[in-house]
Structure 1
Amino acid sequence: MTYLKQLKELNIIVLGLGVSGLSTVRFLLQNNINPIVIDSRLNAPGLDWLQANAPEIEVKLGDLSKSNLSQANLIIISPGIALAQTDVALAITSGVEVIGDIELFARINTKPVIAVTGSNGKSSVVTLTAKVLEKAGFKVGLGGNIGTPILDLLVQSHDVFVLELSSFQLETTSSLKPVSATVLNISEDHLDRYDGMAHYTQTKHNIYENCENAIYSLDDKETYPIKVNNKLSFAADNADFCLVTQNGQSYFSALDKVLFETSNLKVEGKHNQLNALAVIALLSPWNLETETFKQAFNEFLGLDHRCQLVCSHQNVKYFNDSKATNVGACIASIESLAAGSNKNIILIAGGDGKGADFSTLVPYFDKHIKKLICLGKDAHQLAKLSDSSLLVSSMEDAVNLASEHALSGDIVLLAPACSSLDMYPNFMARGDDFSHFALQQKAN
């Protein structure tokens, strides 16, 4: 019996009617499976679609304690809902299986998968991986924590799936069998959901569980796979996939074979070169032509809000890295743009730190930051870390102040080390705000 046929015999609850939840409902309906839909919000975002397209579906809204989750044989949970949530935990204790849409995909999918997680850089790596595969002629399904929900992709025709996976998604995933998988890096994030770094790291490592080839960062011991036989490392130096210098030029190297100059990668920063090495490593089982990588790397201009060059004015560059929502991402951003020992960066940081320890930023501030401009909920906490700090109340004030202090050759960098939700609906809105005022400087 196929898994889809088994599902028809189960009492299924879809818990959470956000993007992934609505996608799950659509997928089940397409396979003649009618779930019960439950959401704690009285005005759940997918409710209008359900009422218009599947009015026969039973929907329960509001207090989860009144929804009797234990009545189900299977709960398909949205990643934003923690397994530790009281009513979910009670259902699990009573024997209800709880999975996410990624696990449902894994139980049905028959095509090869490349899986990527990490605290930072996931979106850039999966996007570039997909572009290389497309350049090689593959039809690629890019999804997971980015773009199209995974079950929407499953009903389409693809040769290979490239998945960005968050720790939240990996909590409920056990059957995925990637051809290659990576934990790019580990730094403090989401500690408001996990019982410390060890729990967070362990969850990230679920991605290695059934993979054929584990790709890890030689520079980050927290990413080292333990139970996988085939392991490949990437790093700037001395790794299976690394950077080498010949005749004064920097090259990408794979398993001691020099490939092509790093100048073929158009996005700036050392962290982007490391991301590119991860892509080459992830795709090593495909034995692609070197020219394919060169062409894709040359055409990839990066993602919005990821260390994105907004403009240059009076030889001052303005970079939008609003996606740097944690300490590790902020450090990576600083390191990638720093000019040796010169303090050439005016950093705009702050927001909601989600309980993170900011102290690890201090050596990077001391070495590279000319001025630290802080805003948002945890502005004062960040400002204590540097003698060069200044406090502002808005992004407009932050950019204006940064421009006043910037000299020729300097960089104004938005890399907040915090989430945006104290001031903005999301990190994109924050980045757009920064970009608007940066461009305004150029126009003045």
Structure 2
Amino acid sequence: MRVSNDTLRSAFLAALDDARRRVVETQHQVSTGLRINSPSDDPVAAARVAHLDASLARLDQYQSNADFARNQLGLEEEALSETIGNLQRIRELTLQANNSTASDGDRHIIAGEIAQHRNALLAIANTTDVDGRHLFAGYRESATPFTIATGGNVVYNGDQGQRTLQISDSRFVAVNDSGAEVFQRIPEGNGTFVLEANVANTGTGTLGSSGLMDPASWVADTYTITFLTPTSYEVRNGASALIVAGTFTPSQSVTFAGIELRIDGTPAAGDTFTARPSVQQDVFSTVDRLIAAIDSPVGSSASRALLHSSVGQRLADLDSALAHLIDARGEIGARVRALDQQEALNADFAVHLNTTLSAVRDLDYAEALSRLSQELFGLDAAQQAFARAQNLSLFRYL
């Protein structure tokens, strides 16, 4: 078969173009440090690189979410810590006010200081983050969660929402708590029942310690303890049915319906005390009732006994609020620990993904430079061969 000069020239030029292309591709790989610079370099590997890049991008977003969650939870934890500190100070002041040597003036001063702490609690409940979002408003973070109504009571303007952020493919963490959950849903007393002394009592009987001794026997109802004489009493339920009757001596415990309570001092005939089921109330109402009890004037032994009973029960409400807020603070700590654990897992996974990505996409410089040297040598040889082939013509010898 006859091979023309044009055919040889075309073949040489095609070979030269191919050699130049390989050199350019290798030089580009060396300059970028990447084996795959476009999907055409290795379609299968390119698809895997895209998947790995997407996974790393998700991890970056999860880290951003975790950083934001940690900041928000830190603000909430600080707010709850300040709230607990204020309530503990209120408790100290209450114990001072409940001392028998405290005068009406002393208690009035103490009540004024407690009122200042109550105002501080309201300010803390309306805490905002650096962007002006209220921490305890639920989803309605632009609204002031707690405001004072016309009658002086505190009302909640937020909702029950709780925002969450995703910190892994399958894990979410809450970054806030509604004000209703933190500051309002607090059980009175011991969480089961509440004791009250009748304001019309004329004796010196004072409510002491109490507790639920037999939960199985407790029937939620309002029970009235009536002293028929200073040494005898009867207990009736909300339907006025007699539950128990007995004799009484000062500091004796009265037991009925699974509960036990102690009454100190000497009640007068006709004095009554009640035990009713506990309900939920907000921390502001707890403090308001405490202030009202402390600031009540004492003009007789009966009114002093009433003061001690009332303040004692408000102390139980205060202890319930403290326990509730301590639990809420502990819940935040649990979320922060979850963030720590997930961040560690995400970091380990990111290392694995980056190692895999490097193995798939990154260039082996030793192999690439060796290949580039060979390709340059081949290109140079091809160029020399083409130059010599150009001289293979009989016309040069005519």
TM normalised by structure 1 equals 0.19
More strand by share: 1
By percentage of residues, which structure has more helix?
A: 2
Q: Which has the higher contact order (CA 8 A, sep 6+)?
A: 2
Larger Rg: 2
